[in-house]
Amino acid sequence: MREQVYQPEKIEKKWQQIWEEQETYKTIEDVSKPKYYTLEQFPYPSGEGLHMGHVRVYTIGDVIARFKRMKGYQVLHPMGADAFGLPAENAAIQRGVNPKEWTLKNMERIRTEQKRLGVSYDWDRYVATCLPDYYKWTQWLFLLFYERGLAYKKKAAVNWCPTCNTVLANEQVEDGRCWRCDSEVTKKELNQWFLRITDYAERLLQDLDQLEGWPEKVKMMQRNWIGKSKGAEVVFTVPTLDDAKIPVFTTRPDTLYGVTYLVLAPEHPLVPQLIKGKENEQKILQFIEDLKKVNEITRTSTEEEKVGYFTGSYAKHPLTEEDVPIWVANYVLMDYGTGAVMGVPAHDERDFHFAKKYHLPIKIVVQNQDGYPQTVEEMDQAFTEDGILVHSDRFNGLQKQEAIQTIGKYLEEIGKGKRTTTYRLRDWLISRQRYWGTPIPIVYCDTCGEVPVPLDQLPVMLPEDVTFNGKDNPLTTSESFVHTTCPKCGGHAYRETDTMDTFIDSSWYYFRYVSPHEETKPFDSKLVNKWLPVDEYIGGIEHAVLHLLYSRFFTKVLYDAGLISFQEPFKSLLTQGMVIKDGAKMSKSKGNVVSPNEIIEKYGADTGRLFILFAAPPDRDLDWSDSGVEGSHRFLNRVWRLVQQNLETLRSHPEIKVETDEEKELRRMIHLTIKRVTEDIELRNNFNTAISAVMELVNKIHSYPEKGNKGLLKQAIETVVVLLAPMTPHITEELWQMMGHDSSIHLQEWPTFNEEYLVLDEVEIAIQINGKIRGKKMIPTSYGKEEIEKAVLDDERINEWINGKQIRKVIVVPGKLVNIVIG
């Protein structure tokens, strides 16, 4: 029989069509099986299509989903599109197309590319966040938050991109410029919608301890973002402004007597009054204007130069009643804490450098534990360690931790402050001044004020009669959208023209996958409680804070509303590393992008999948290697030929008899490989070592005698093909059919290993004389120490080395070595 040549393009198209026609990967509700929900973060449908980073994520998720199906689970493995967002709107402006048309076209392109990869999605569950049957329920959820007092509108200073004409999150401002168009970002006061995520700060923090399946790095990033601090709020007053209060939060109330200045955020509401008529008034006003162009992350960076100006005004110290100079500086933000900090240069590193730069006084109020009397003159850095209070009036002699509590309590007693806890986390700004997003379901009536749209009037549809002029929010140009009727009084009303941040859409999409065609509610609670939490969530580390934090917030609100029975959305989290080429992350700007389509057309999807799994563990960065891709392709050809050359044996039913040592060793290798691959996938997600184990088995098969046991040979080759099935689904499906099987390989049961067959009859041990290896010997694994020692000492070759010398000691390490000490 003439051997067939491995033609990946042909067989991959063939099986993708069969899988689709037969709905092979449709999720079947089966109460007799345990559930498993595996999910990759869904893509944004940009005009660039998929890149190798996407391929890595989808391949990892697909291996897990296929493996779990073969292990007997009912698997939910869906896909969709995170389809709203600014890029589509910018494309509409630049290309003169409708963002919906542009997005839907890109969605279809990406779906086609995902299918070419052979990913086992249940396509019947596909959701797109930009379609009314999805964003209707995003609006419904917004109204749920609104009813529960968790959605509100207030005036706030926001990052504004004048080119994109929209608000930007802090994370979207890079070096003071828009992350998309590189325009200089300014600050702008706008009425904006917020969600009260701060109400959940403590729960979001505490419940991180329950997430055993999350990387510690991600949990730490969230802890830092939430930023819990315990301390005291201290009230300073300004005598010249009718004792106006300046509350200051500090984690170190024990250093209160060391305050030598206050620093306010330039945006602090008292600043205009404090500087009026003062020497630095114009400088500070210009300073405030300049800071509108600098984002908060840059301002608070440890590497950013600290710049400040004296306001010319003084505050009264709450305990000493001394005058304390008030400054403004770039590193203090109005949105964090109270917008004011107390300067204690002797005991805070940042304050120390600021005081040195501007020649401000330094007072030591915490002394070394050993009582060594430091002086300001000998200090070259702040003293931040534990110590004893000095120069602190009645609190002298107290230890740092005791002083923190005692002074906090005293401030409460005299009405000059209170002990408190603060969080770095701020409420979530969700307003965006753009068209391509979920409309906020609120109207404004002159008579009734702010009115939520009734549920039976959802969805509030995006209008078609809009103008994309690159200057105005397109929604404001639609007369049919802006003007409406008040749901309460029936009078004239105006619609909210802001749309929601797209992080809202992605905060609940994994709920919708469970019942994507539900028409009466966002999701079927009974099914959601069955399938969620997601068992394995796969995506990039760049979403470690915002997306994951927002999703956790949404889940807790839905739990509190009685819609679900769990409080965390993702049981286990796998954050895959980046794909690196030529020393940098793949990107068009660097000219180092490798297109998935290019790999598929040249080598086939299975080769691309195998390489991306084999080149590195999933949580590590992966270095792209053209020779590595070619090596993966050669291995698949080798497996293909192995099947082709043994088709007669594989299609027959030879008896398995294991008698010789060679047969026992091949059987052991079969079961050892099953064990290694199973545990590598199931326990560690180490797909690279799983593939390596299969490669070793292939090598073993090739060295097996041509006249060896045919039944055992068949079992070995079938094991190779089945173990590779989750990783290279097309070639294994084709080979399985060639071997004479009728049903899909992906519907087979995962093979099990027999521990008995893993035990070696004999093991080779090293024999040392005075610590130097002088030989090796096969020893039955059943032997104890005495039997091993006797077998070694009876060996003629070893006796030649001993040569009649006295044996002082024999050290036996079963299964490894025997060391004979002679002298």
Give per-residue pLDDT as tens, 677-723.
Answer: 999 999 999 999 999 999 999 999 999 987 888 999 999 999 999 99
Query: For residues 512, 516, 518 and 519, what is the CA-based torsion angle, rounded to 10 degrees?
Result: 100
The pairs formed by 299-305 with CB atoms below 8 angstroms and a separation of 24 or more are 299/330, 299/331, 299/333, 300/331, 300/333, 300/336, 304/330, 304/331
Cis amide bond preceding 459, omega within 30: yes
Low-confidence residues of the chain: pLDDT under 50: none
- Between the two ends of the chain, the Cα-to-Cα distance in Å is 67
Amino acid at 124: D
538 phi and psi angles, rounded to 5 deg? -125, 130
Please indicate, yes or no, whether the overall pTM of this predicted structure exceeds 0.85.
yes
Q: Residue 229 belongs to what H/E stretch? A: strand 228-238
Q: How far is Cα 509 from Cα 131, in angstroms, rounded to an integer?
A: 13
Instruction: Give the other-Cβ count within 10 Å of 200's Cβ.
Output: 21
Q: Residue 357 belongs to what H/E stretch? A: helix 349-358
Per-residue CA distances from 406 to 149, 237, 368, 397 (Å): 37, 22, 20, 12
Q: How far is Cα 59 from Cα 726, in angstroms, rounded to an integer?
A: 9
Strand-pair category, 492-495 with 442-445: antiparallel
- Contacting residues for 174 by C-beta, under 8 A, at least 6 apart: 295
Is the Cβ–Cβ distance between 148 and 195 less than 8 Å?
Answer: no
| Closest CA relative to residue 191, chosen from 168, 232, 158 | 158
Q: What pLDDT sits at residue 371?
A: 61
Instruction: Give the other-Cβ count within 10 Å of 220's Cβ.
Output: 12
Q: What is the DSSP letter of 680?
A: I
Using the Cα atoms of residue 732, residue 733, residue 739 and residue 744 in order, give the sign of their dihedral: positive
Q: Give the length of the chain.
A: 823
Where do runs of H (alpha helix) occur along 646-709? 647-651, 661-679, 687-702
| Closest CA relative to residue 417, chosen from 320, 519, 319, 294 | 319
Q: At what angle do helices 132-147 and 546-560 cross, to 10 degrees?
A: 70
Q: How far is Cα 715 from Cα 708, in angstroms, rounded to an integer?
A: 13
Burial of 440 (0-12, 13-18, 19+ CB in 10 A): buried
Instruction: Give the other-Cβ count within 10 Å of 72's Cβ.
Output: 14
Q: How far is Cα 738 from Cα 642, in angstroms, rounded to an integer?
A: 12
DSSP string, 277-309: TSTTHHHHHHHHHHHTTS-HHHHT-TTSPP-EE
Q: What is the DSSP letter of 631?
A: H
| Closest CA relative to residue 732, chosen from 746, 743, 742 | 746
Amino acid at 559: Y
Strand-pair category, 244-250 with 308-316: unpaired
Burial of 414 (0-12, 13-18, 19+ CB in 10 A): exposed
Q: What pLDDT sits at residue 418?
A: 95
Q: How far is Cα 33 from Cα 700, in angstroms, rounded to an integer?
A: 36
Q: What pLDDT sits at residue 2?
A: 63
Q: What pLDDT sits at residue 156?
A: 84
Is the Cβ–Cβ distance between 106 and 10 less than 8 Å?
Answer: no
| Closest CA relative to residue 329, chosen from 268, 253, 244 | 268
What are 534-574's pLDDT values in tens digits?
Answer: 999 999 888 888 899 999 999 999 999 999 999 999 999 99
DSSP string, 556-578: HHHHHTTS-S-S-SBSBEEEE--
Q: How far is Cα 311 from Cα 280, in angstroms, rounded to an integer?
A: 6
Burial of 335 (0-12, 13-18, 19+ CB in 10 A): middle
Is the Cβ–Cβ distance between 118 and 12 less than 8 Å?
Answer: yes
Structure tokens at 665: 């060793």
Structure tokens at 20: 């689709």
